[in-house]
Each structure stands twice: as structure tokens, then as C-alpha cells.
Amino acid sequence: MSNLVFVYDPQFQKHLTPESHPESPNRLAAIESALHRSELIKQVRRAEPRAATGDELAAVHNPAYIEDLERKGNLARDQNARLEVESETFMSSESYDTAKLAAGAGIVAVESVLQARSQSAFVAVRPPGHHALKDKAMGFCLFNNVAIGARYAQKHLGVKKVLIIDWDVHHGNGTQAIFYDDPSVCFVSFHQYPFWPPNVGWYTEDGADEGKGYNINIPLPAGTGDEGYVKAWDAIVTPIILEYNPDLIMLSAGYDAHQFDPLGQQQISTAGYYLLSSRLADVAERTNARLAGFLEGGYNTKTLAESVVATMHVLNAADAQGRKDVKPFGSIYGGEVVEQTMDRNPQLVDERISTIRKHLSKYWKSLRNSSS
Ligand SMILES: [Zn+2]
């Protein structure tokens, strides 16, 4: 296997939001600069994105919605304005083309990993995607990039089972809605709860019809921190991924659960993201699944960039030499695990994890033992 495939284009910085909006082009500039500082940029294999076609978008989104977005994009261009198409969700003159390129970047990534050019890929794009519904923009998202990539892999690359893991601090409501009744796409979302978006993401939302049991929500209280996330991963996510045995694992990689993020309060450290990334690489290796990570949120540009580099470093090392050769986090970045000071309730986290496990055990044999 060769090194991690990295899909990126400076065009992704041309989707503009108003001044002081958290979802800004600076996010990608910071990631680019951190990649160069880490020298990872010399190791990864860069791939150019292409725009998703109308048919590829329509495998997920309603045609009327796609047309509406194109119309609004043209309007933004004609007026040279940043139009608010939904609450806090904007389009500027190049947003429509950039959103199609972001969706197409995900397609390039799944093609790269499924055509055996690499085990893993990471897609650094804007606008993000996981809140976008079939027929509605939402939460800074226009097209659901990860969903479009998943459908493309199934329709064109022979993939049967996809597992999407979403560790953005916000619930991936768009992705949940798109695949809610579909057992061929298992969706797992870690998120702060209660939080935005409201009234969605509780663990009893576990799928519908044939998809019952394939929608896994892990709603965690504010301040859960690294330890709680890792516990939830080990108790719920690893057994489910091993039992589901997907062909392709897609990561909705949001970094707004970071302790220094201005939007979330989940208190994950950069080292915590490193640990989660290592668990992800491990389970992909154990199931022999290909892996594609898609950037979602993350609004402290410094910790976003460091955390993305941490994930990419783990995936690249997993590809190139085997994970055992990944250096400990601190030696790569000179970083330390920062003491987390926020009030926490580990007992509530433990109770929540065991409640979720119990609830899901009616669908998943691997959750029926007493190991948690
Ligand atoms: Zn988010």
C-alpha cells in the first residue's frame, strides 16, 4: 500500500462567508500551513478534485433542491453578495461551483481508496456537508459530501456496505436522515447532547424499516473529554464496526469537539483526536476496509489544523509502514496533553455509554456480553 491520498484544492477557500463567521476560508489556509510545517505534505499523495456531476449529486439530493442552489449561487454572483440561503448558511459568487468541487473531491477520495491506490484518503474541503439534507441546506452545509461519496462508491465501485463515523461535535442530522432506512449504510455519530441541531440525535433514533439498528447515536454530555470518547469508542464503536464488517469506512471528521473550539464544549484534546484516529485506523485494518476522511467542522483554526494533521499522520503511517511505527503524539508536534479543567461528570458518561450499549444490544450480538 502506498501513502495517504490527500484531496485538496485552493478553490475551497473561495466559498466566502461574512466577516467573523466561524466557517471561514482561514480554516483551510491553517490546515495547509500546518501540513507544510509537519512535512507530512512530502509524504502524502496529492489528488486533484473534480466537480461532482448533476447525476452524482442527485443520487442524494432532490433535483429541485440542486436547481434552487444553483439559482441562489447565480444570484450571489450577479449581486456579488454573500446570501444567507438558510440560517447562518451562506453562498457567495463561487459557492455553487465550490460545493460541487467539494462533493467531487469525496468521489475522487473513494475512487482512490477503492481502486487500491491507497488504503486511506483525507479530503480537506469547504463547504462542509453533514448537516445538508436531501432538500435543504443547513448548518454551513450545502451538499452532503460524505453521503454523495458513499452513494458513488455503492453505485460505481462495487461497494456493498459503508460505515460512516461522525465525530463532529454536532449531530450529523443530514447524514442520519439520508440513510435512516438503509441497512447498507451504517451511520455512527458522536455528538454533544443536548446541543445544536435541536431535537435530533438521541440514541433511541436507531433507524427505520430495514435500516432499524443501523443508525447509531452516541449523545454525550458537555465536557465528556478524551477519556469518555475513548471509552464510548471501545464499548460501542469497535464492536459494531467489527460485526458490521464494512467494505468502506467514511469519517465525517469534525474537530469542533476540541477543548479550544469556540463552538463546542466536549473538551477533546489534540492528543484525544490522535487516539480516536488510531482506533479508527486499527478497526479499518482489522476489517480490511478502505478509509476516507472528510473535513466537517472545527473553528479554532490552530487546533483544527493540528488535529487534522494528527489524523492524517495516523492514516498515512497506517498506510505506509503499519501503525506501530507512528511516533507518540508529543514527539511530532512538541505538544502535550493539556489538563482539562472544565467540570465533568464521568459517572454520567459511563451511565450513558452503558444505556446506549444496552439499547443497541437488541440489534448487535457483539454488544450482548458484559464487558462494559
Ligand atoms: Zn460541527
The tens digit of pLDDT for each residue in 178-195 reads 999 999 999 999 999 999
**Residue 342: pLDDT band with limits 50, 70, 90:** low
* Residues assigned a catalytic role: 131
Q: What is the pLDDT averaged over residues 185-213?
A: 98
The residue segments making up the domain with residue 285 are 5-367
H-helix or E-strand spanning residue 312: helix 301-320
**Cα 307 to averaged position of ligand 1 atoms, centre (Å):** 14
DSSP class of 43: T
- Mean pLDDT of all residues in the chain? 93
**Residue 314: pLDDT band with limits 50, 70, 90:** very high
**Cα 172 to averaged position of ligand 1 atoms, centre (Å):** 8
**Contacts of 35 by beta carbon, 8 Å cutoff, 6+ apart:** 6, 41, 44, 305, 309, 312
CATH number at residue 324: 3.40.800.20
**Cα 316 to averaged position of ligand 1 atoms, centre (Å):** 24
Residue 331 lies in a domain: yes
Percent of the chain at pLDDT > 90 equals 89
Residue 15 lies in a domain: yes
Residue 318: the pLDDT is 79
The predicted model scores a pTM of 0.95
**Residue 350: pLDDT band with limits 50, 70, 90:** very high
Instruction: Decide if pLDDT at 339 tops 50.
Output: no
Cα distance between residue 176 and residue 229, in whole Å: 20
Residue 39: the pLDDT is 84
Residue 184 lies in a domain: yes
Q: What is the pLDDT averaged over residues 308-332?
A: 69
- Number of domains making up the chain: 1
H-helix or E-strand spanning residue 282: helix 270-287
User: Residue 103: what are its φ and ψ, rounded to 5°?
Assistant: -65, -40
Instruction: Decide if pLDDT at 279 tops 90.
Output: yes
Q: Give the number of other CB atoms < 10 A from CB of residue 211.
A: 18
Cα distance between residue 119 and residue 211, in whole Å: 28
**Cα 322 to averaged position of ligand 1 atoms, centre (Å):** 30
Residue 176 lies in a domain: yes
DSSP class of 60: T
Residue 372 lies in a domain: no
Instruction: Decide if pLDDT at 96 tops 90.
Output: yes
**Residue 285: pLDDT band with limits 50, 70, 90:** very high
Residue 96 lies in a domain: yes
**Cα 47 to averaged position of ligand 1 atoms, centre (Å):** 26
**Cα 365 to averaged position of ligand 1 atoms, centre (Å):** 31
Residue 264: the pLDDT is 96
**Cα 42 to averaged position of ligand 1 atoms, centre (Å):** 29
Q: What is the pLDDT averaged over residues 302-331?
A: 76
Residue 329: the pLDDT is 45
Instruction: Decide if pLDDT at 228 tops 90.
Output: yes
Instruction: Decide if pLDDT at 60 tops 70.
Output: yes
Residue 92 lies in a domain: yes
Per mean pLDDT, which range of 83-97, 124-138, 260-274, 316-330 is the poorest?
316-330
**Residue 341: pLDDT band with limits 50, 70, 90:** low
Residue 264 lies in a domain: yes
Q: Scanning the structure block, which residue is given the C-alpha cell 491507497?
A: 118
